[in-house]
Chain A
C-alpha cells in the first residue's frame, strides 16, 4: 500500500515537474503515409526521406509510429481501399500523396468522419476536410522567366519543354511560364514539346523540333528534362542556350561540367522530395492541437550558380537534390499561412 502511494506521488511530481512540451501530446499518436507510386527517383527519395525523418521522430518519442504504405498499382481505387484500411488500423493521422485530386475524396471523408487528420501533399486532394500542402507550380514556372530576364536583358526566343500531357502539374507550370512571358515581353516561346519529365523523352522531342526553330536563347523546363535537352542541342552543334534545370543529379552534373569548362550559368528549380517530411511534421502539429490553415504552400528548392557544388555533393547518383524538413520548418510554413 505504501509503495503504491509512493509511486503515485512520484508520478504526480514527475507530471508536475515535466516541462510544458508540445511534443508530449503526440507521443501516443500513429501517423501513416499513403503513397500511390514509387516507380521513379523522386518518389524513391521521397520515401527515403520519410523513413529517415520519421524514424528519428519515432525514436525520440515524438510519435508512436509513422508507417509508409505504397499501393501495388498506381490506381485511385486501390489507394482509396488503402486509406480505408488505414482507418481500420487505427491511425490518428494519414499523410497522402494522392493518385487523383478527386477520386479519393470519399475515402478521405470516411477518415475525417472517423476523427482522423488527413494531410495531402504533392498530389493533393480536394476534399475540404483534408489539409493540403501544395507547391506553387505557377510561381515555379514564372520564376524561370524572371531569372532569364536578369540573365538575358535583350530577351529572345525560348523553347518550352512540358511534362506529361493532361496532368495538373504540367498545366500549372506551363501556365506560370506563359504568365512570365507576358510579364517580360522581350521573351517569346518559339516552340514547345512534351518531355514527360524524362531525359530520354525530352532528348528525342527536342531533337525533333530543333530544325524548325530559330535561334533560341533559353530553354524553360519542368524538371527531369534539362539534361536531355542539352544533349539534343549539343548533338546538332547549336550555341548552347540557358537551360533551366530541374535538380536531377545528371542535370546538375552536366551544369557543373559546363561551368568548369566555359563558365556556363543557369539555375535549377524543383520541388524537393523531402516535402513528405514537411507533411509529416504538419500532421504532427495538427495532432498536437495547433491551429493550422487548410491550405499551405511549400517553398520549392532552387539551386543557383554559387550553391551548385554544395547541392551536387549531397545529391545521390541518379537521384534528385533534396532537403528534409524539421519541425521548425513546419512551424514556419504554418506561421506563414496564418
Chain B
C-alpha cells in the first residue's frame, strides 16, 4: 500500500481537527451531551446529511454540482413514508427508477454538454412537484424496519457514530480503492487524458450520478427513519448543507479532489456547529451568520495550510 501524501493528510487533518474542537466546546458547554444518549442526540440527524453529502461529493468529483439534492431527498422521504411501507415492491421500483434517472441525467449532461447547475435546478422542481403529488399534506409513516434501524441501540457506541463510520468506510472504498472511483476522480481531474487512455467518459459520469442517486436515496430513507414521517419540504436545506459539507471536508469544486471521509466529517461538523450555537444561546438572527463564520474560518485555515504546503514544495 502506498503511503498517503502529506497533502491528503492535511486535507483530512483540518476537518477532523475542527470537529474535535467543536465537540470539545459542546461538551464543555453541555456536559450532559457527553453520554451515549447525548452523543446520539447530537449526531443522529447528521446521518442523513452525511449520506447526502457523500452523494453530492460524487457529483462534485466530476466537476458538476447538484442543486436538486434537497428536493430529491425530500422526494425519497415521501416515497419511503408511503410506498416503501404500504407496497414495498413498488417503493423499491420507484427508488431504483429514480437512481436510474440520476444516471441518465449524468449521460444527458455529458452528451449535450449542458451545465449541471441548470439541469439539476430544473430537476429540483420536478422532484419537488412529485413529492407534493405523493404527500400533498405532511404525513405517511416510516416502514418499521427503517425506524428500527435508525433507533437501534448497539452496545457501547451510539448508532449515529456507527452509521457515520460505516458511511465513511463504504464511500472511501468506492472512491479510493475501486477502479471506478479512480476513474470518476480522473474525469474530474483531467477528462481528456482519461478519454485518451481509452475509458468511456459517459459511463464514468453516469456511474458518478448513479452513485449520487443511490446515496441520496439512502439519505431520504435514513431521514424518514429518524422523523417517523415525511413532508414534501422536509430536506430542502440539504442542497446547501451537502455542498458545504463536501467543501468543509476538504473537497474542492473542481479537479476531482474529494475526500469521502472528510465529507462525512464535514457533515458532522456542520450539524455540531448548529448545536454549538444553540447551546451558546446565540440569537437566531445571528445564527446563520455565525454558521457561515465557522465555515469561513475552517476554509481560511485550509488556505493557510495550502500556502505553507506549496512553499514547502517550492524549496
A binds B: yes
Residue from A71, A77, A88 in contact with B223 in the complex, judged by beta carbons closer than 8 Å: A77
A89's contact among B32, B37, B234, B284, by CB below 8 Å, is which?
B32
Chain B residues with CB below 8 A from A105, complex form: 227-229
Instruction: Give the segment of B41-49, B60-68, B83-91, B113-121 that binds chain A.
Output: B41-49
Q: Which residues of B contact A149 (CB under 8 A)?
A: none
Interface size class of A (residues with CB under 8 A): 35 or more
Q: Mark A88-102, 1 if CB is under 8 A from B, else 0.
A: 111000000000111
Contact residues in B for A72 (Cβ distance below 8 Å): 284, 287-288, 291
B231 and A100 within 8 A (CB): yes
Interface centre among A77, A85, A166, A171 (most CB of B within 10 A): A77
- Asked if residues B234 and A77 are in contact (CB atoms below 8 Å), the reply is yes
Q: Contacts A100-B234, A103-B231 given; indicate if A73 touches B288 (C-beta within 8 A).
A: yes
The number of chain B residues touching the other chain, given as a range, is 35 or more
Q: How far is the CA of A114 from the CA of B288 in the complex (A)?
A: 29
- Distance between Cα atoms of A334 and B149 in the complex (Å): 38
Q: Taking the complex as formed, is B226 at the interface, i.e. its CB lies under 8 A from any CB of chain A?
A: yes
For residues 73 through 94 of chain A, which have their beta carbon under 8 Å from a beta carbon of chain B? 73, 75-78, 80-82, 84-85, 87-90
Binary A-proximity of B200-241 (CB < 8 A = 1, otherwise 0): 000000000000000000000001011111110111111000
Asked whether any CB of chain A lies closer than 8 Å to the CB of B138, the reply is yes
State the CA gap A67–B281 with chains docked (Å).
10
Which residues 107-163 of A have a CB within 8 angstroms of B?
107, 109-110, 114, 126-127
The segment from B6-14, B250-258, B271-279 that touches chain A is B271-279
- B94 at the binding interface (Cβ < 8 Å): no
Q: Identify the closest chain B residue to A71 (Cβ).
A: B284
Write out the residue numbers on chain A whose beta carbons fall within 8 Å of the beta carbon of B287.
Answer: 72
A103 and B227 contacting across the interface, CB-CB below 8 Å = yes
Q: A76-B233, A80-B45 are in contact. Are A102 and B32 (CB under 8 A)?
A: no
Knowing A88-B33, A89-B32 are in contact, say whether A82-B278 is a contact too (CB < 8 A).
yes
Contacting pair A89 B279 (CB below 8 A):
yes
| Known A-B contacts A87-B41, A105-B227, A127-B228; A100 and B284 likewise in contact (beta carbons under 8 Å) | no
Could you tell me if A38 and B138 are in contact, using CB atoms closer than 8 angstroms? Answer: no
A51, B67: Cα distance in complex, Å: 39
Q: Is there a chain B Cβ closer than 8 Å to A69's Cβ? A: yes
In the complex, are the beta carbons of A69 and B229 less than 8 A apart?
no
When C-beta atoms are compared, the residue in chain A nearest to B289 turns out to be A72
Which one of A38, A82, A84, A105 has the greatest number of beta carbons of chain B within 10 Å? A84
B279 neighbours in A (Cβ, 8 Å): 85, 88-89
Partner among B228, B236, B238, B271 whose Cβ is within 8 Å of the Cβ of A109: B228
Do the beta carbons of B230 and A103 come within 8 Å of each other?
A: yes
When chains A and B are docked, how far (Å) is the Cα of A306 from the Cα of B103?
A: 66
The 10 closest A-B pairs by CB, nearest first: A102-B229, A72-B287, A105-B228, A70-B284, A102-B138, A106-B227, A103-B231, A84-B41, A100-B231, A106-B226
**7 chain-A/chain-B pairs, Cβ below 8 angstroms:** A69-B284, A72-B291, A80-B45, A80-B226, A85-B279, A89-B30, A103-B229
Q: Which residues of A contact B (CB under 8 A)?
A: 38, 67, 69-73, 75-78, 80-82, 84-85, 87-90, 100-107, 109-110, 114, 126-127, 166, 168, 171
